[in-house]
Amino acid sequence: MRYFREPFSGFSHLAGAILGVAGLVVLVAQTYDESTKLATMLVYGISLILLFLASAAWHLVVAPDRVLHWLRRCDQAAIYAFIAGTYTPFCYAYITDRFRWGFLGVVWGVAIVAIFVKLTLNEKSRVRSSLFYVGLSWLGLFTYPFVSGNMDTGALVLLLAGGVVYTSGAVVFNLDNPNNRPKYFNLHDLWHLFVLVGCGLHYAAILVYIA
Residue 58, pLDDT above cutoff 90: yes
pLDDT value of position 150 = 77
Amino acid 148: pLDDT: 66
**Does CATH number 3.40.1710 belong to domain 7-210?**
no
Least confident stretch, 50-59, 91-100, 144-153, 161-170? 144-153
Angle at the Cα of 99 from the Cα atoms of 94 and 104, rounded to 5 degrees: 80
> What pLDDT score was predicted for residue 1?
62
DSSP code of 147? B
* CB neighbour list of residue 164: distance below 8 Å, 6 or more residues apart: none
Region 11-28: mean pLDDT is 98
Q: How many CA atoms lie within 13 A of 52 on its CB side?
A: 22
Asked if residues 115 and 50 have their Cβ atoms less than 8 Å apart, the reply is no
73 has a pLDDT exceeding 70: yes
3-state DSSP helix/strand/coil % of the chain, to nearest 5? 80, 0, 15
Domain ranges of the chain: 7-210
In this predicted structure, what is the pLDDT of residue 203? 98
Task: Check residue 135 and give its pLDDT.
Answer: 87
pLDDT tens by residue, 156-171? 999 999 999 999 999 9
Instruction: Return all residues near 9 (Cβ < 8 A) that are at least 6 apart.
Output: 55, 59, 188, 189, 192
